[in-house]
Amino acid sequence: MAKTKTSFKKGEIHNPKGRPKKGYSITEWFKEMLNSKPEVKDAIGNSIIAKATQGDTAALKLVWNYMDGMPEQKNILAGDEDNPIAIDVAGVLNKVYGKTRPDSDGGVPQNS
């Protein structure tokens, strides 16, 4: 990549003040409102329960998810003793970069 006048120079700090603070979100507003007005929280909860008992499937799902929690879903990336999972790193690098070894400077391999 060609260097230009506006290219970043090594060691420069490009955002000295850091990431800007988040604005006040609707989620924060709801949390504060529900914490300061427990009667509203109770009314919402009772409304959801009433809809669930009338057969509203979305309300039923919401009640069950908050009552028991969603089932934990595990992603196991290991085979068993007889059939371990093999990852061909050299093959992946070759497919992605056309090379099996990184450049000597540690950067991403480039095709010449």
Secondary structure of 43-101 in the HEC alphabet? HHHHHHHHHHHCCCHHHHHHHHHHHHCCCCCCCCCCCCCCCCCCCCHHHHHHHHHCCCC
Q: Give the whole-angstrom CA distance, residue 11 versus residue 9.
A: 6
Q: Are 51 and 45 contacting, i.e. CB atoms less than 8 angstroms apart?
A: no
Q: Give the whole-angstrom CA distance, residue 78 versus residue 66.
A: 31
Tell me which residue range forms the domain holding 60: 27-71
34 within a domain of the structure (yes/no): yes
Residue by residue, pLDDT tens for the chain (112 residues) are: 566 666 777 777 777 777 777 777 888 888 899 999 999 999 999 999 999 999 999 999 888 888 877 767 666 666 777 777 777 777 777 787 776 665 555 555 555 5
108 within a domain of the structure (yes/no): no
Considering its fold, how many domains does the chain have in total?
A: 1
Q: Is the pTM of this model over 0.95?
A: no
pLDDT at 53: 94
SS3 content of the chain, % helix, strand, coil (to 5): 45, 0, 55
83 within a domain of the structure (yes/no): no
